[in-house]
Amino acid sequence: MTGAAMAAVMLTTGVGGSGAAGVGGQTAAGRPSVVVIGTGGTIAGTAPSRVDFQTYQPASRPARELVDELRPEIEGVARVRAVDFGAKGSGEYTIADFRQLSLMVDEHLRSADAVVVTTGTQTMEELAYWLDLTVRSQKPVVVTAAMRPWNVVGSDGPSNLYNSVVLAASRRTVCFGTVLMLNDEIFAAREATKTSTTRLDTLQAPEVGVLGVVDERRVRLQRAPARVQHCAEPDQWRTPFDLSGLGADALPRVEIMYAYADAGGEPVDAFVHTGVKGLIAAGTPTPAQMAPLIAALQSGVQVVAANRNGSGGVYETPEGVIAAEDLPPQKARLLLLLALARAENPEQIRRWFQRYGIAEFAPDTRG
């Protein structure tokens, strides 16, 4: 990282400073403006009783209702406006919906200081990584959710939303791309994954850990995602995946093939028959899977090899197959989908995986 870039990172994010900051250091212009975009999920859910922790109706409360319940507390933090993108469980959203949400986030960031997106935890990590790859603004984007519905005893929804507003309003994550906030902890979109269907500490980054925490109104950052090294160079900081001129019909279909003992190759044939442009091989393919995978590759389907184990990387691959290294299959799928929408050259796609899927702190000349 150049000295100018490092200085820009330190000034915008506070990295390298005291390691902790509240939200009280606002400018004379007043409190920062934060837009909360609701997409539904458990955080907007309603349970039939205060102790029905897993039995509830998700996406039953609009974002404005959630924000208004916290209005007395967040008024001292930021000027917050709530809008709804949708009211579904996170698993119900499509790639076309993801595209529209990215455009909506960028639209609000033209005037707001930061955006918070509330969603469900099932595909929270995928939604966050999609936004990380596609949002053009360097302003803070925070994705949050909850493991318990809004109205139960001990719900994590109110605290997660409040902490996300605190984090967004602090503007400490300028140039971080999209981050996730859950259970007081801050995660990079690329690194976070859901690990439990019920526990509040479900979000983890198995090998690298959290970026930091929010303690009341204190934002504590211990590290930053690698992309901050390009903070002073917006054209280098942004990915090539600008959706503003890319229609939903230009986003190709990419699927995941899961490897397990004695797995058959019929799903690969079926995917190819239905017109997929890319396949993610999650785990080492069986012999029965390998033959149709090679045939798919030879027919022009791009194949990416990823691990299925939650941590660790894939590095050595057959010729023509791209290694995802430690990028998990569900996120490798999104990166491949976006790459195929922009280029058909396998070498270009490979370079994009190296730069955006496997980002690291290093002089970056990989294109």
Residues 201-258 pLDDT 10s: 999 999 899 999 999 999 999 999 999 999 999 999 999 999 998 999 999 999 999 9
Residue 15 phi, psi (nearest 5): -65, 135
Distance, CA of 194 to CA of 172 (rounded, Å):
24
* CATH dotted code for 252-357: 3.40.50.40
Distance, CA of 141 to CA of 222 (rounded, Å):
18
User: Can you give the residue ranges of every domain in the chain?
Assistant: 3-237, 252-357
Residue among 346, 277, 355, 354 nearest 318 (CA) = 346
- Same fold yes or no, 3-237 and 252-357: yes
Distance, CA of 82 to CA of 37 (rounded, Å):
6
Q: Over the Cα atoms of the chain, what is R_g?
A: 21
Distance, CA of 95 to CA of 248 (rounded, Å):
8
Distance, CA of 346 to CA of 344 (rounded, Å):
6
To which residue do tokens 């930061």 refer? 114
Please tell me the predicted confidence (pLDDT) of residue 117.
98
Residues 105-158 pLDDT 10s: 999 999 999 999 999 999 999 999 999 999 999 999 999 999 999 999 999 999
Average pLDDT of the segment spanning 323-328: 95
Residues 109-123 pLDDT 10s: 999 999 999 999 999
Chain centroid to CA 320: 28
Q: Which amino acid is at 76?
A: G
With H, G, I as helix, E, B as strand and everything else as coil, classify residue 70.
coil
Please tell me the predicted confidence (pLDDT) of residue 310.
83
Chain centroid to CA 156: 20
Residue among 149, 197, 124, 187 nearest 48 (CA) = 149
Residues 10-53 pLDDT 10s: 444 444 333 454 443 444 358 999 999 999 999 999 999 999 99
| Greatest Cα pair distance in the chain | 66
In DSSP terms, 166 is beta-bridged to none
Distance, CA of 65 to CA of 47 (rounded, Å):
16
Q: Which option is the CATH number for 3-237: 3.40.50.1170, 3.30.720.110, 3.90.79.10, 1.10.3720.10?
A: 3.40.50.1170
How high does pLDDT run on average in the chain?
91
> To the nearest 5 percent, what fractions of the chain are helix, strand and coil?
35, 20, 45
Q: What would the DSSP string read from start to end of 24-46?
A: ----TT-SPEEEEEEEESGGG-B
Please tell me the predicted confidence (pLDDT) of residue 363.
61
Please tell me the predicted confidence (pLDDT) of residue 262.
97
Q: Which two tokens stand for residue 259?
A: 């490897």
pLDDT above 90 coverage of the chain, percent = 85
| Residues with a known catalytic role | 42
Count of positions (residues) in the chain: 367
Residue among 223, 282, 227, 278 nearest 257 (CA) = 282
Distance, CA of 326 to CA of 339 (rounded, Å):
18
Q: Which two tokens stand for residue 43?
A: 């955080």
Residues 3-12 pLDDT 10s: 444 444 544 4
In DSSP terms, 116 is beta-bridged to 36, 142
